[in-house]
């Protein structure tokens, strides 16, 4: 890593350290920007990544998308280009040297706006790209990230400058080695763009049953092509994708409401409480009641 990037990261580290006195996820005055802090390595945490740019400023982190592992450190950045159910774990952190993270969420319309206003064209191909990737950090990208973070010390400038710096960050990512994976998401007619529409449909209707033929029709693909492309983008089948969403929502409901496991199973779309319990145990390592008791403790 170059001296320039190291210097930039040290400044960003100080900003994140200042705005994260306690462990956890901290929303900043910039609505799409979040800082994270962990003083210890963590157990695997399940969640859904929105389209976002993620940086490790100090420490290290691993993200699992189905069976695929993405490890990133201060030398890298991670991009999730669509909503993805993942398992994340902080792998390097101590009370003296805590894990510090940076996450900037974005929308497909912001990517499209950058492409329309710039000469960036990496020409999306027919073959879909994985919707998550890790790339090596570059000083031009880190410079734009740092200027966005500095705005927290100048709140009156946020409404005008934050959108501009966010646009520059996306521009730099699009110019990078994996920019095509980000461009593919918004290129109308590309297979990845069509899969994105199906992902949004499943996200909005995860508790409902569906047939693969119905999803393939939304993507305007044959069943075989749809199934292959969906797995290429998300690293899992549509059924697995829906199962991850159902179980993560079930866990959230069990933790935040005084709800019975059977009731929650029906609410997230399961017809069989026993099947729900089996799949819950397989994903989280414990049956619902035991898992919730463990987490609350």
Q: What is the structure's pLDDT at 31?
A: 95
Q: Which residue, 87, 76, 90, 112, is CA-closest to 24?
A: 90
Which residues, in sequence order, are CB contacts of 137 under 8 Å at separation 6+?
1, 5, 55, 74, 75, 76, 77
Walk me through the domains of the chain, giving residue ranges and CATH numbers: 3-183 (2.60.120), 191-239 (1.10.10.60), 245-296 (1.10.10.60)
In the predicted structure, residue 20 carries a pLDDT above the cut 60: yes
Percent of the residues in the chain that have a pLDDT greater than 70, as a whole number: 97
Q: Are 198 and 230 in contact (CB under 8 A)?
A: yes
Q: What is the structure's pLDDT at 120?
A: 61
Q: Where is pLDDT greater, at 164 or 2?
A: 164
Distances (CA, A) of 61 to 27, 91, 98, 173: 19, 5, 12, 20
What is the distance between the alpha carbons of residues 230 and 173, in angstroms, rounded to a whole number? 23
Mean model confidence pLDDT for the chain: 93
In the predicted structure, residue 94 carries a pLDDT above the cut 60: yes
In the predicted structure, residue 8 carries a pLDDT above the cut 80: yes
Q: What is the mean pLDDT of residues 254-283?
A: 94
Q: What is the structure's pLDDT at 4?
A: 92
Q: What is the structure's pLDDT at 281?
A: 96
Q: What is the structure's pLDDT at 122?
A: 52
Q: Which residue, 161, 150, 168, 167, is CA-closest to 16?
A: 150
**Residue-wise pLDDT tens digits, 137-194:** 999 999 999 999 999 999 999 999 999 999 999 999 999 888 888 888 888 778 888 9
Q: What is the mean pLDDT of residues 196-220?
A: 95
Q: What is the structure's pLDDT at 215?
A: 96
59: left (phi over 0), alpha (psi -120 to 50) or beta: left
β-partners of residue 76 are 136
Q: What is the mean pLDDT of residues 119-144?
A: 81
Residue 121's pLDDT band, with cuts at 50, 70 and 90, is low
Q: What is the structure's pLDDT at 125?
A: 54
């Amino acid at each position: 890593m170059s001296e320039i990037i190291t210097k930039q990261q040290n400044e960003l580290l100080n900003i994140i350290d200042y705005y994260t006195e306690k462990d956890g996820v901290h929303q900043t005055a910039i609505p799409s920007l979040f800082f994270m802090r962990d003083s210890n390595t963590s157990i695997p945490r399940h969640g859904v990544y929105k389209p976002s740019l993620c940086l490790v400023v100090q420490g290290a982190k691993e993200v699992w998308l189905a069976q695929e592992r993405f490890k990133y450190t201060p030398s890298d950045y991670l991009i999730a280009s669509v909503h993805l159910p993942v398992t994340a774990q902080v792998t390097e952190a101590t009370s003296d040297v805590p894990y510090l993270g940076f996450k900037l969420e974005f929308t497909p319309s912001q990517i499209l706006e950058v492409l329309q206003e710039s000469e960036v064209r990496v020409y999306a191909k027919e073959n879909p790209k994985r919707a998550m990737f890790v790339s090596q950090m570059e000083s031009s990208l880190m410079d734009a990230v740092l200027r966005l973070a500095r705005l927290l010390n100048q709140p009156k400038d946020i409404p005008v400058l934050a959108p501009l710096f966010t646009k520059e960050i996306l521009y730099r990512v699009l110019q990078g080695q994996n920019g095509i994976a980000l461009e593919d998401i918004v290129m109308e007619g590309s297979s990845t763009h069509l899969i994105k529409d199906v992902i949004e449909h499943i996200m909005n209707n995860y508790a409902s049953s569906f047939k693969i033929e119905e999803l393939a029709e939304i993507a305007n693909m044959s069943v075989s092509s749809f199934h292959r492309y969906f797995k290429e983008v998300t690293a899992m089948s549509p059924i697995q994708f829906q199962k991850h969403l159902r179980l993560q929502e079930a866990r959230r409901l069990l933790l935040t409401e005084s709800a019975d496991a059977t009731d929650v199973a029906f609410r997230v779309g399961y017809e069989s409480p026993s099947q729900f319990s089996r799949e819950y145990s397989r994903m989280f390592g414990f049956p619902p009641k035991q898992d919730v008791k463990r987490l609350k403790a």
